[in-house]
Structure 1
Amino acid sequence: MRLPFPPYINKIVCIGLGNFIAPDSDEENELLTLSMLRHAAVLTVAETLFKRFGRYIQIIAQDVDYTPDCAMVLSRRGFFIRGRNGAGGFAEIDDKTFVFAPSSNFCLKEIVADIAKPAAMFWSTVLTPEESEKTSRAHQLVTFGNHITSTWNYPIADADTPRVQLLVKEYDVYQFPCTNLFGSVSIYAFRRTSMVNMNQKIGLLNK
């Protein structure tokens, strides 16, 4: 399926894709392999966007777990590393950015919603409050004695807050097949009608 990505995308910002080179070890494990495959997927996305729109796509990445060796390998493959800590990666996000951040373990979507309206996002599927409550509910009942039982909801690190809900209303959503590589994620592409509205607002401001 040919997704209707905005034609003005000029960079991909990757957040939290993981480290794939273990320090002082030649051993491979599942997490390292997942990280390697996720970075490879980013290269595929950049190549696809280049072929479709004929524009160079810059790739920017940030992860607190990057080792120096991992950062060096990524740099050789065309990634621009924006430090292990701080907000360097987030500072690069604007309306021409494709945010690539599946399975985040912190409030990434809330931060992005505060920064800009990216051209596209690839991250965990945004759920309604009802869906979120059901998804985070523990399957095992908690017993308090005297036949009193209750369920509990575990906290969600990258919660779908009202601000996030408001952001994605301006995007077309394409749910990605759930896999061990990315988890339950969706692609969000900025809707064409939203682009027109944004250009009209910019035009009024420039008058």
Structure 2
Amino acid sequence: MSLKEQNAAERQQSPPVVLEYGYSHWTISSQGAADLYAAGARLWTKDSLRDIEQQLTEFKIRSSFAIRRIDGTIIYIKNPMYGVTEPIWKPIVEFRNYWRLVKSQPDGPPETYYCTYLIEWFNQIGTQFYGPIEGFEAVFQQIKKSWNNSATRQLLQDRIRALIHTSSDCQIIKVICFGLGDISVRPPSWWRIKNRELENPDRDTVMVEASMLQHCAALTIVDALRQYYLEKENSSGNTTIIRLLTQDPKYTEQTRECLRANGFEVVGPAGAGGFAEVDNETVVFSAFATAPIKQIIADLARPVLFIGSFPLEDFDIRMKPSPDAESPRTREMWKSYAKSDFPVAGEEIPSMASLHKLSICARNAKVD
């Protein structure tokens, strides 16, 4: 056998070299996540949301946090604030939506690719040092008075009553708000510097007045429901208690106190527990969320009403998913809802903090 023939024979006997070109953790993970999702795996459960809320509430005494992944496995994340007496960092939940699992590669190690929530650390020292805006409670009452005298308030009240009357077989026992924003935190230094240079400076509350207005709208929603059920039940003798809950992990303590004084129950300080309150007898109000509110709810329940924003595009120009993007599951959910515009009086649009950009989705039928 010639040398050439011998080399050819050896090559035939040797196994081929298989390159792992394009074979990455992300490729495998994203396909696996898509398969799990298609098979019905839920990205969020009430139990896991309650659990992470409880863990973060106890962060001073926990050395690590247990994070549930969508395949049911658990990973553990070290707690840098463990044992710290006066932590300046507060842990809150950072949600990852469907598209971060299957299309847009997330940051972090491959072990986190199956995670729909992780831990974000929020530095509180500046907020604690500067304190709340002086007199923010009085401004909130001014905004509330102006809102109560507006035509938009009456339009919203009438719309809520009409929708509930149409869905008369549906019972509502709570209104839950997500991410309406803080109403007391001071504006950043750069804003204060520029504001002082203006001929007619704005008041410090200008950056939180939209949030104040959204909380006023929430009060109107629950008032409309309470009034409707009171009138309906006068003849039946029944009594419906409708709770008003709100969750925003960046609420300051001063904001929480103010909201409680105005009829809100403040829940989920870490940003997760409030979702476990959502059920089929709920109204959800989320104005311009920075979390996947709709996707989370699609895994948990079918609220009677959903009031929120619907971005025209689910991805930005860099193909990053928007925080509250739609998903196959939310698209399916909306088939059971009728959508209408949030009512705002035309002449009041400039003063209504973009409420006219919201929509109201009403469930078509009772859900057992």
TM-score, normalised to structure 1's length? Answer: 0.75
Matches within 5 A, 1:1-150: 2=159, 3-5=162-164, 6=167, 7-22=170-185, 28-54=204-230, 55-125=240-310, 132=313, 138=317
Determine the C-alpha separation between the residues in 2 that align with 1:186 and 1:70.
26
Offset at residue 153 of structure 1 (A)? 4.4
Larger Rg: 2
- Other structure's SS at 2:244 match: strand
Q: Does the 8 Å contact 1:23/1:67 carry over to 2?
A: no
1:188 matched to which residue of 2?
361
Offset at residue 157 of structure 1 (A)? 1.2
Offset at residue 181 of structure 1 (A)? 3.5
Q: Does the 8 Å contact 1:60/1:79 carry over to 2?
A: yes
Higher relative contact order (CA 8 A, sep 6+): 1
Matches within 5 A, 1:164-179: 164-176=330-342
TM-score, normalised to structure 2's length? Answer: 0.44
CA deviation string 1:45-89 (max 9, x = no partner): 111111112233200111011111110111111111113204211
Q: Alpha carbon RMSD of aligned pairs, Å?
A: 2.5
CA deviation string 1:133-164 (max 9, x = no partner): 6xx565xxxxxxxxxxxxx5453111111111
Determine the C-alpha separation between the residues in 1 that align with 2:248 and 2:278.
15
Q: Does the 8 Å contact 1:20/1:33 carry over to 2?
A: yes
Deviates more, 1:49-58 or 1:160-169: 49-58
Determine the C-alpha separation between the residues in 2 that align with 1:32 and 1:137.
26
- Other structure's SS at 1:60 match: strand
Determine the C-alpha separation between the residues in 2 that align with 1:24 and 1:120.
33
- Other structure's SS at 1:52 match: helix
- Report the number of matched residues: 175
Offset at residue 114 of structure 1 (A)? 0.6
What 5-or-longer segments of structure 2 have no aligned partner? Answer: 1-157, 189-202, 231-239
1:141 matched to which residue of 2?
none
Q: Does the 8 Å contact 1:102/1:183 carry over to 2?
A: no
What 5-or-longer segments of structure 1 have no aligned partner? Answer: 139-151, 200-207
